[in-house]
């Protein structure tokens, strides 16, 4: 009958087996297999990948059987050490530069930080902490705060004065005012109490503040009245504060508005104002500048139709005074010129619609016809200077002279 093997791969000889050699087998079982499991230490070298240890049916030396595993070698990142799924304790010394998770094929395992040693237990289904409770513990030196200690060899606490105190920082607990040295008045190196309403008991906190205060309960008001010659004002939030222009100094004539209005100096050139709709003071629009608007209402609201000007009164433009004119002659053959023109109804075609004009029934003349007989009346269209438009008011002189010629013809017929 053949030998069998335990979970630690100790050879279990059958009756009558290994006649004459059973002593040698027993020596290997005791001197190698059991010694490795009880006191053995073996290096486990990583090479930039996870590593799996196995046990085979032999009582010869095997790494996975050793009590202490010394992890070495380059890892390149956090790695896993997969051990056989048997019940066994391990001392894991992680000499690698990264965390190594010790686990078996079925469990999540224990993460051993770089440079640390841990005592773990392989249950056969998972690797867990071998020890989770100590009735007492004496340390040779103070346990650091980062490890959950106080960082001090001695510490005295009164339990009634401590509530949910975290050794690293007070992150979740609270300290009642009665448990601190907080004071209801200002003082050097003193914590100032807050009352039940959240206000400071001292009422006033003195000192120099830096940074940004988002809100105070009382306001600061600037106006253009009042007097005073103070160079500055102090505001502590205890009451509303009014500061006159005379207190803070009048605006400069060299940049800010000299009339008493706080303003902003703008240097460089501004192309357009995209959203200004109302001028609240005279000369708000500089007469020396150029402006473009979508539509304009004079005495009434703008229509919103691009290019339209609406007014509730006469629009007066240009000049007609004889004293400003040098006459160059009368309009000749006016009647025949008028007869060459056509008045007609029309609506915007596709080209005009593409330029933004709406389709509606209108009346007018042809700019090209007018240009042939009275070119002074024709001008480039504002929408695009490759098109023409007629200044209809300038057709009046032509019509006057045509009527006069027609009147003469009628008078001759009457004779």
Cβ neighbours, 10 Å, residue 390: 20
What confidence tier does 224 reach under pLDDT thresholds 50, 70, 90?
low
Q: What is the pTM of this model?
A: 0.40
Cβ–Cβ < 8 Å for 186, 205: yes
Per-residue pLDDT reduced to its tens digit, 301-339: 888 888 888 888 888 888 889 899 999 999 999 999 999
> Over 90: is that where the pLDDT of 43 sits?
yes
CA distance 166 to 364: 90
What confidence tier does 147 reach under pLDDT thresholds 50, 70, 90?
confident
What confidence tier does 142 reach under pLDDT thresholds 50, 70, 90?
confident
CA distance 127 to 53: 14
Phi–psi pair at 13, nearest 5 degrees: -80, 145
* Average pLDDT of the residues in 266-286: 51
CA distance 20 to 30: 18
Q: What is the pLDDT of residue 201?
A: 61
Closest CA to 158 of 131, 146, 176, 140: 176
> Over 50: is that where the pLDDT of 53 sits?
yes
The residue ranking higher by pLDDT, 310 or 390, is: 390
The residue ranking higher by pLDDT, 215 or 286, is: 286
Cβ neighbours, 10 Å, residue 24: 10
CA distance 413 to 406: 11
Cβ neighbours, 10 Å, residue 179: 13
Q: What is the mean pLDDT of the chain?
A: 80
How large a percentage of the chain has pLDDT more than 70? 69
Instruction: Give the ranges where 17-70 is alpha helix by DSSP (H).
Output: 22-28, 35-39
Q: What is the pLDDT of residue 414?
A: 82
Per-residue pLDDT reduced to its tens digit, 360-374: 999 999 999 999 999
Buried residues in 253-282 as b, exposed as e (16+ CB within 10 A): eeeeeeeeeeeeeeeeeeeeeeeeeeeeee
The structural domains of the chain, with segments of one domain joined by +, span: 4-129, 329-414
Residues β-bridged to residue 297: 310
CA distance 8 to 216: 75
> Over 50: is that where the pLDDT of 284 sits?
yes
238 Cβ neighbours under 8 A, 6+ residues apart: 204, 218
* Average pLDDT of the residues in 36-46: 96
The residue ranking higher by pLDDT, 384 or 158, is: 384
Per-residue pLDDT reduced to its tens digit, 18-39: 888 989 999 999 999 999 999 9
* Average pLDDT of the residues in 279-287: 57
């Amino acid at each position: 009958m053949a030998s069998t093997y335990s979970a630690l791969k100790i050879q279990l000889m059958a009756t009558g087996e290994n006649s004459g050699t059973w002593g040698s087998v027993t020596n290997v079982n005791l001197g190698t297999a059991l010694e490795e499991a009880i006191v053995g230490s073996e290096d486990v070298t990583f090479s930039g990948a996870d590593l799996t240890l196995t046990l085979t049916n032999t009582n010869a030396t095997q790494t996975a059987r050793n009590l202490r595993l010394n992890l070495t070698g380059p890892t390149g990142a956090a790695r896993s050490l997969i051990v056989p799924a048997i019940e066994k304790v391990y001392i894991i010394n992680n000499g690698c530069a990264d965390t190594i998770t010790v686990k078996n094929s079925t469990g999540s395992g224990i993460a051993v930080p770089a440079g640390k040693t841990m005592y773990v237990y392989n249950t056969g289904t998972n690797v867990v902490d071998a020890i989770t409770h100590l009735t007492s513990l004496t340390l040779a030196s103070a346990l650091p705060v980062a490890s959950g200690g106080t960082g001090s060899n001695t510490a005295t606490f009164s339990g009634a004065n401590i509530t949910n105190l975290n050794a690293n920082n007070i992150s979740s607990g609270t300290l009642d005012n009665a448990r601190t040295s907080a004071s209801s008045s200002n003082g050097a190196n003193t914590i100032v109490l807050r009352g039940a309403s959240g206000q400071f008991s001292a009422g006033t906190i003195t000192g120099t503040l830096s940074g940004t205060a988002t809100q105070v309960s009382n306001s600061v008001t600037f106006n253009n009245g009042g007097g005073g010659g103070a160079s500055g004002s102090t505001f502590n939030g205890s009451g509303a504060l009014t500061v006159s222009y005379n207190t803070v100094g009048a605006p400069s004539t060299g940049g800010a508005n000299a009339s008493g209005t706080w303003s902003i100096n703008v240097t460089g050139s501004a192309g357009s104002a995209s959203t200004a709709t109302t001028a609240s003071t005279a000369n708000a629009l500089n007469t020396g500048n150029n402006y473009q608007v979508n539509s304009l209402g004079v005495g009434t609201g703008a229509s919103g139709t691009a290019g339209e000007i609406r007014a509730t009164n006469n629009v007066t433009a240009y000049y007609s005074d004889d004293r400003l004119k040098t006459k160059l002659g009368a309009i000749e053959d006016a009647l025949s010129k008028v007869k060459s023109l056509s008045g007609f109804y029309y609506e915007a075609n596709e080209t005009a619609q593409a330029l933004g004009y709406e389709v509606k029934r209108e009346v007018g003349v042809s700019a090209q016809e007018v240009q042939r007989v009275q070119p002074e009346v024709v001008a480039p269209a504002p929408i695009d200077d490759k098109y023409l438009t007629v200044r209809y008011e300038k057709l009046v002189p032509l019509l006057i002279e045509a009527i006069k010629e027609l009147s003469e013809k009628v008078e001759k017929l009457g004779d």
